[in-house]
Structure 1
Amino acid sequence: MSAAALATLVAAGGALAPLSSPPVVSAAEVPPPQLPPLVSLDLPYVSDGDPAHRLDVFVPAGTSSRPLVVFVHGGSWTHGSKAEIRGGAGQRAQAFRDVLLGHGYAVASVEYRFSHVARFPAQLHDVKAAVRYLRARSADLQLDPTRFAVAGESAGGHLADLVGYTGLTADRTLEGDLGVTGESSAVSAVVSYYGVADLSRVVPDRVEKGCARGQTGATSPEGRLVGVDPQTARRADVVRRANPVTYVGVTSPPTMLLHGTRDCLVPAAQSTRLYRLLCSFGVPAEYITLDAPHGGPSFHTTPRVTARVLAFLDRHLRVER
């Protein structure tokens, strides 16, 4: 008897008769036990021995091929780790992973080279190589190669956007030739958390928001990524090549953007501008703002937000449970 029925009975002055035996529950009504995921750590997606070319994969237990979300960590393109998805970084990305696993998604977390090691487009080459590797090994890893999405935070959001919007590019200088070739790096959806969409606008966006200018010029995180002052007109072509907004078009994959309204590191104007551009091309796009600074656990622990992210992924990766 349900709690509501019991309450009604008591309120009416009724009495409960003792049960001679427990109610029969069919096997179909009993949820299956949650088995631990299959975990593969430190898989080399490029066979060059570079620890920056490693990834981790988490796959829900079972026999079906799973849709995959490739996660790209943040860190100003200068630090961070794929281990963030396992916890300990303060962003609660492990909660994001666990929600996805609990709803039938596999999750991969990718390392990539930092800007003090190699300038852009090395980071894009790395993440694209990881996607191609995962697609090539999809049968072994129980992944569905037709249902890949990419997600990232901050610098990782920037790279996730780029992977999404250059998936169909014929420009080999953007695709790169690392690791597995002959596979596509295209994805079906993008989830970008407080990412940089236009490197040349980061500092102006801070000023317009009333924030401190922060690091500027060629020694800023954006400057170190591309090797020039992002605001210089003299090398605008170099900066434009690293901007996700450069590649948005009618074939861009559906995108969900999430940003904090109190973000003074990468102001929300970055996502607002990208969202409007996506909409202008008719690309399915969603935009969620939170009362939050740059990052923080609320992006992955707020139920209404995680529900929206799951609904977005389900819709565009056609997940059946």
Structure 2
Amino acid sequence: MQRSIILAVLILFSCAGIVKAQKTFSVTVDEVKNGKITVEPAIPDNGQVAKGTVLTITAKPDKNYALDAVYYSVNGMWGDMYLESMASPYKVVVDQDKKLGASFIEKDEVKHLMDAQNIPYAKPGVKQLKYDVFAPEGARNLPCIIIIHGGGWIWNTEDIMRGMARELTKSGKYVVFSIDYRWAGNRDGDEVGNTMADIIGDVFGAIAHIMEHAKDYGGDPTRIAVTGDSAGGHLSAVAGTMPNKIGVGGFGETDGVFEFMPSYIPKNKTVDQVRAEMMAAIKAAAPSYGVFGSDRLNHYSEDPKADDSWKEAIAPLSNIPNAEEREIPHYLTRGTKDGLIPDDGVKRYVDALVEAGQHVQYVQVGGAGHAFFDWKPDDNTKATFKKYGVYYINEMETFFNSVFYPKN
């Protein structure tokens, strides 16, 4: 018996030593099409790279192609999870098993664009918050479309919406902004977890920053539409229906008071001014396959006072303005094979909008699943975007045109 115990202890220490000795991670390079990449320092033949190594990826497109993004991916809750840069070179720190690669796009798809990447707007926590700008050549005083990405409120960046942004600029009628925000809980590495109220504050902060600087990119800050998919569907509906909730009263700090503090306020503006200007500027919302009712939302607060009223305060379904007070027409989409967002949840929101006198259009996308407006480097996502996304983005733009370019 004693000998067995000693053997078990030796095995335990041996295994611990192996874990402790593991100082490398597997790094592989995906197949690259329509261009080439180089990685420095070179990856060893066995694919094992020392922890902490900084790899520099440089991408070069083939003739008639342009860089879409340089990326790395990790295995996550939804398969390959991408983190990307639309500029090369791109530095990647080896801290877990990773795949590296680059995606390229036909030049004709982006030749109309002037873009500006990673514009910082606030840093309320560990993560620098930013947005990307997509403006058609010669843009001048055009309406602005603001896109809010999805990812369950805990993943992705604004890069995942670049396909939609590019499509919405092709007509030359809009300047498009794609925004980032904090992830819920401690996903960003913040010591104190981020709540849904924090995330919504980031959305309003980004919009405030965009309104302050829209003219720099040829945009009109007084004419804004909001859109987004999945978690961004919820957040864009909030941005459309609830800018009246911007304020300094705090979220749940006082019983019955639920206000959102933007993470950015222009120096020459008061919070009251920002609220009033945003309420007047946001004129349309196009939330895609989002969550609208409190029954499926999480406030992410650890405050012991947090109850269902906190969820109601972040639910667009519970905060729709009457059209006589403020019109906010909606265009809603959902794939008929979406396994995450039920049809009845969207219909409840549609019915509530109608009851409030708002104009609303709900389009069911036959055969589509979830996230067909997303853009990633993998071929499957690009094919889905081409099959469903492009057509329905053009339909969405027709809706935006009815608001910003009405026929006489």
Taking structure 2 as the reference length, what is the TM-score of the superposition?
Answer: 0.58
Q: String of CA shifts for 1:121-168, please: whole Å, max 9, x gaps.
A: 011100111111111112222111121111110001100000111123
Rounded to whole Å, the distance in 2 between the matches of 1:123 and 1:62 is 33
- SS at 2:286's partner residue? strand
Rounded to whole Å, the distance in 2 between the matches of 1:42 and 1:168 is 28
Following superposition, the deviation at residue 236 of structure 1 comes to: 1.2
| 1:176 has 2:261 as partner | yes
Rounded to whole Å, the distance in 2 between the matches of 1:66 and 1:50 is 34
In the other structure, the counterpart of 1:56 is 132
- The amino acid of 1:307's aligned partner reads N
- The amino acid of 1:312's aligned partner reads F
In the other structure, the counterpart of 1:98 is 166
Change (3 A) 1:223 1:247: closer
Change (3 A) 1:42 1:286: same
Question: Any unmatched runs of 5+ in structure 1?
Answer: 1-33, 87-93, 203-221, 229-233
CA contact under 8 A between 1:45 and 1:179: conserved in structure 2?
A: yes
CA contact under 8 A between 1:226 and 1:239: conserved in structure 2?
A: no
Q: String of CA shifts for 1:277-321, please: whole Å, max 9, x gaps.
A: 10111111110011322223557744652332111100112279x
- SS at 1:259's partner residue? strand
CA contact under 8 A between 1:63 and 1:142: conserved in structure 2?
A: yes
Rounded to whole Å, the distance in 2 between the matches of 1:288 and 1:236 is 30
CA contact under 8 A between 1:52 and 1:111: conserved in structure 2?
A: no
Following superposition, the deviation at residue 243 of structure 1 comes to: 0.7
Count of residues paired in the alignment? 257
| 1:305 has 2:392 as partner | yes
Change (3 A) 1:313 1:63: closer
In the other structure, the counterpart of 2:147 is 71
CA contact under 8 A between 1:115 and 1:224: conserved in structure 2?
A: no
Rounded to whole Å, the distance in 1 between the matches of 2:214 and 2:350 is 31
CA contact under 8 A between 1:136 and 1:180: conserved in structure 2?
A: no
- The amino acid of 1:189's aligned partner reads A
In the other structure, the counterpart of 1:288 is 363
CA contact under 8 A between 2:224 and 2:284: conserved in structure 1?
A: yes
| 1:245 has 2:317 as partner | yes
Following superposition, the deviation at residue 195 of structure 1 comes to: 0.3
- SS at 1:41's partner residue? strand
CA contact under 8 A between 2:196 and 2:298: conserved in structure 1?
A: no
Q: String of CA shifts for 1:232-255, please: whole Å, max 9, x gaps.
A: xx8111111111111102125111
Change (3 A) 1:194 1:296: same
- SS at 1:175's partner residue? coil
- The amino acid of 2:362's aligned partner reads Y
Change (3 A) 1:139 1:224: closer
Rounded to whole Å, the distance in 2 between the matches of 1:98 and 1:180 is 28
Rounded to whole Å, the distance in 1 between the matches of 2:185 and 2:242 is 24
CA contact under 8 A between 1:77 and 1:225: conserved in structure 2?
A: no
CA contact under 8 A between 2:197 and 2:299: conserved in structure 1?
A: no
Following superposition, the deviation at residue 66 of structure 1 comes to: 1.8
- SS at 1:148's partner residue? strand
Runs of 4+ in 1 over 6 A off after TM superposition: none
Question: Any unmatched runs of 5+ in structure 2?
Answer: 1-109, 187-193, 251-258, 374-383
Rounded to whole Å, the distance in 1 between the matches of 2:301 and 2:347 is 23
Rounded to whole Å, the distance in 1 between the matches of 2:123 and 2:369 is 38
In the other structure, the counterpart of 2:203 is 127
- The amino acid of 2:116's aligned partner reads S
- The amino acid of 1:196's aligned partner reads V
Rounded to whole Å, the distance in 2 between the matches of 1:252 and 1:123 is 24
- The amino acid of 1:243's aligned partner reads A
- The amino acid of 1:125's aligned partner reads G
Structure number with the higher helix fraction is: 1
- The amino acid of 1:121's aligned partner reads A
CA contact under 8 A between 2:202 and 2:263: conserved in structure 1?
A: yes
In the other structure, the counterpart of 1:114 is 183
Rounded to whole Å, the distance in 2 between the matches of 1:47 and 1:78 is 17
* Aligned counterparts, 1:83-232, within 5 A: 83-86=159-162, 94=163, 96-104=164-172, 105-117=174-186, 118-169=194-245, 171-172=247-248, 173=250, 174-181=259-266, 182=269, 183=274, 184-186=277-279, 187-200=282-295, 202=296, 222-223=297-298, 225-226=300-301
Following superposition, the deviation at residue 102 of structure 1 comes to: 0.6
Rounded to whole Å, the distance in 1 between the matches of 2:360 and 2:231 is 20
Q: String of CA shifts for 1:184-213, please: whole Å, max 9, x gaps.
A: 33311111110000131x4xxxxxxxxxxx
| Residue 340 of structure 2, aligned match among 261, 265, 269 | 265
- The amino acid of 1:178's aligned partner reads S
Following superposition, the deviation at residue 226 of structure 1 comes to: 4.8
CA contact under 8 A between 1:199 and 1:243: conserved in structure 2?
A: yes
- The amino acid of 2:333's aligned partner reads L
- Report the more deviating stretch, 302-311 or 292-301: 292-301
Pairwise CA RMSD of aligned residues?
Answer: 2.7
Following superposition, the deviation at residue 263 of structure 1 comes to: 2.1
Rounded to whole Å, the distance in 1 between the matches of 2:360 and 2:385 is 18
- The amino acid of 1:283's aligned partner reads Q
Change (3 A) 1:188 1:97: same
